[in-house]
Chains A and B, each alone.
Chain A
Amino acid sequence: MACKSMPFATSGKGKCRFLSVSGDAVIDTVSELQNEMLAATKKDVNYLIDLSSVESCDVAGLQLIFSIFSYITQKDCLFKVEESSDCVDELLTLTGMTFPESTLIIEE
Chain B
Amino acid sequence: MDMDNQREAFDQEVAELLGEVEEAILEVENSDDPADESEAVNRLFRAMHSIKGIAGMFGFDQVTEFTHHVETALDLVRNGKAPVSKELINYVLKSHDMIISLLEDDAVAIPEEGIEIIQQLTLLTNEDAVFDDLEFGTEEKNKEDESDLNSGLVLTYRINFKPHESFFASGNSIKNIFEQLHALGDIAMHAHYDSIPPCDKLDPSVCHIYWDMVLTTKVERDEIMDVFIFAENECDLSIKLIDEVDDDIDRGENDEHNYKKLGEILVDRGALSKDELEDTLAESSKIGDILVKKNLVEPKEVEAALVEQEQVRKVRKTRHKNVASATIRVQAQKLDSLVSLVGELVTAQARLASLAIDRNDAEVSAVSETVQSLVSGLRDETMSIRMVPIGTTFTTFKRLVRDLAGDLGKEINLNMIGGDTELDKTVIERLKDPLVHIVRNSVDHGIEKGEDRIAVGKDNVGNLTLKAEHTGAFVQITVEDDGAGLNLERIREKAIERNLISPDAHLTDKETCMLVFAPGFSTAESVTDISGRGVGMDVVKQNIEALRGSISIDSEFGKGTKITLRLPLTLAIIDGLMVQVAEEFYIIPLSMVEECMDLDMAEVERIKGRNILNLRGKALPFVKLREQLDFTGSEPEIEQVVITHVNGMEVGFVVDHVIGSHQTVIKSLGPGLRQAKHISGATILGDGTVALILDVQKLVN
A–B contact with Cβ pairs below 8 Å: the answer is yes
Partner of B197, one of A41, A67, A73, A94: A67
Q: 8 Å CB contacts to A: which residues of B145-182?
A: 168, 173-175, 178-179, 182
Chain A residue numbers with a CB within 8 Å of B659 are none
How far, in Å, is A51 (CB) from chain B's closest CB? 15
- Would A31 and B175 count as touching, CB distance under 8 A? no
- Once A70-B196, A91-B175, A94-B175 are accepted as A-B contacts, the answer to whether A60 and B202 lie under 8 Å apart by CB is no
Contact with B along A67-106 (1 / 0, CB 8 A): 1101101100000000000000001001111000000000
* B191 engages A70 (CB within 8 Å): no
Instruction: Say whether A67 contacts B179, CB under 8 Å.
Output: no
Partner of A34, one of B175, B182, B204: B204
In the complex, the answer to whether A64 meets B199 with C-beta atoms within 8 Å is: yes
Contacts of A95 in B (CB 8 A): 174-175, 178, 189, 191, 209, 211
Which residues from 182 to 220 on chain B have a C-beta closer than 8 Å to any C-beta of chain A? 182, 188-191, 193, 196-200, 202, 204-205, 207-209, 211, 213
Min CB distance A3 to B, Å, is 11
Contacts of A91 in B (CB 8 A): 175
User: Contacts A94-B178, A96-B189 hold; do A63 and B207 have CB atoms under 8 A apart?
Assistant: yes
- Tell me the bound Cα distance from A73 to B208 in angstroms: 19
How near does chain A come to B181, taking the closest CB pair, in angstroms? 9
Partner of A67 from the list B174, B189, B190, B202 (CB cut-off 8 Å) is B202
Cβ–Cβ contact A59 & B199, under 8 A: no
Do residues B196 and A66 form an inter-chain contact, with CB atoms below 8 A? yes
- Quick check: is A37 within 8 A (CB to CB) of the other chain? yes
Partner of B174, one of A31, A33, A59, A71: A59
- Contact of A27 (CB < 8 Å), options: B182, B205, B208: B205
Contact A68 B204 (CB under 8 A): no
CB distance from B682 to the nearest CB of A (A): 30
> Chain B: how many interface residues by the 8 Å CB criterion?
25
Task: Assess the B193–A97 pair: CB atoms within 8 A.
Answer: yes
**A68 contacts which chain B residues (CB < 8 A)?**
198-199
- Interface membership of A48, Cβ < 8 A: no
Bound together, the chains give a CA A34 to CA B96 distance in angstroms of: 48
Bound-complex Cα distance A70 to B194 (A): 10
* Interface residue from A31, A59, A60, A71 paired with B198 (Cβ < 8 Å): A71
Complex Cα gap A97–B188 (Å): 12
Contact A70 B199 (CB under 8 A): yes
* Nearest CB in chain B: distance from A47 CB, A: 12
A31 to B168 alpha-carbon distance, docked (Å) = 12
Q: How far is the CA of A31 from the CA of B205 in the complex (A)?
A: 7
Asked if B207 contacts A59 (CB within 8 A), the reply is yes
CB contacts (< 8 Å) of B198 on chain A: these are 67-68, 70-71, 73-74
Return chain B residues, CB-CB under 8 Å to A63.
Answer: 193, 196, 202, 204, 207-209
With both chains docked as a complex, state the minimum distance between the C-beta of A37 and any C-beta of chain B, in angstroms: 6
User: Whole-angstrom distance from the CB of B194 to the nearest CB of chain A?
Assistant: 10
A55 within 8 A of B: no
Within 8 A of B (CB), among A18-39: 27, 30-31, 33-34, 37-38
Partner of B205, one of A30, A66, A74: A30
Q: With a CB–CB cut-off of 8 A, which chain B residues contact A64?
A: 199, 202, 204
Which residues does chain B contribute within 8 Å of A94, judged by CB atoms?
Answer: 175, 178-179, 182
Interface assignment of A50: CB less than 8 Å from any CB of chain B:
no
Q: Contacts A27-B168, A58-B174; is A97 near B191 (CB within 8 Å)?
A: yes
Q: Which residues of A contact B178 (CB under 8 A)?
A: 94-95
The answer to whether A58 touches B199, judged by C-beta atoms less than 8 angstroms apart, is no
A63 vs chain B, min Cβ distance (A): 6
User: Are A71 and B204 closer than 8 Å at their CB atoms?
Assistant: no
Cα separation A33 to B199 with both chains bound (whole Å): 11
Contact A38-B208, Cβ < 8 Å, known A95-B174, A95-B189: no
Q: Which of B175, B190, B205 has the most CB of A within 10 A?
A: B175
Name the contact of A60 in the complex, choosing from B179, B182, B197, B207 (C-beta under 8 A).
B207
Residue of B nearest to A58 (CB): B175
Q: List the A side residues contacting B207 at CB < 8 Å.
A: 59-60, 63
Question: Which of B188, B197, B204 has its CB near the most chain A CB atoms (within 10 A)?
Answer: B204
B74 to chain A, nearest CB (A): 44
Cβ contact of B190, chosen from A33, A41, A71, A96, cutoff 8 A: A96
Complex CA distance for A79 and B198, rounded to whole angstroms: 14
* A81 → B minimal CB distance (Å): 15
CA distance A60 to B176 in the complex (A): 13
C-alpha gap A105/B200 in the complex (Å): 25
Q: In the assembled complex, which residues on chain A have CB atoms less than 8 Å from the CB atom of B196?
A: 63, 66-67, 70
Set B173, B174, B199: member contacting A37, Cβ < 8 A = B199
CA distance A89 to B198 in the complex (A): 21
List the B side residues contacting A97 at CB < 8 Å.
Answer: 191, 193, 209
* Cα separation A30 to B199 with both chains bound (whole Å): 11
CB-nearest residue of chain B to A98:
B191
- With both chains docked as a complex, state the minimum distance between the C-beta of B645 and any C-beta of chain A, in angstroms: 48
| Selected contact of B199 from candidates A27, A60, A67, A96, CB within 8 Å | A67
Docked pose: A66 CA to B178 CA in angstroms: 19
Of A33, A38, A66, the residue contacting B193 (CB under 8 A) is: A66
Chain B residues near A33: list those with CB within 8 A: 204
On whether the beta carbons of A96 and B202 are closer than 8 Å, the reply is: no
A-contacting residues, B203-246, CB 8 Å: 204-205, 207-209, 211, 213
Chain A residues near B204: list those with CB within 8 A. Answer: 30-31, 33-34, 60, 63-64, 67
User: Which of A30, A67, A74: most chain B Cβ within 10 A?
Assistant: A67
| Complex-state Cα separation, A38 to B197, whole angstroms | 13
Q: How far is it, in angstroms, between the C-alpha of A67 and the C-alpha of B173 when the chains are bound? A: 20
A38, A58, A74: which contacts B173 (Cβ < 8 A)?
A58
Q: List the 4 shortest-distance A-B pairs measured between CB atoms, nearest first.
A: A96-B189, A71-B199, A71-B198, A30-B204
* 16 residue pairs A–B, Cβ–Cβ below 8 Å: A31-B204, A38-B199, A58-B174, A59-B175, A59-B207, A60-B168, A63-B196, A63-B209, A64-B204, A70-B198, A71-B200, A74-B198, A94-B182, A96-B188, A96-B191, A96-B213
Known pairs A33-B204, A59-B174, A96-B213 / 8 extra A-B pairs, C-beta < 8 Å:
A27-B205, A30-B205, A31-B205, A66-B193, A68-B198, A71-B200, A95-B211, A97-B193
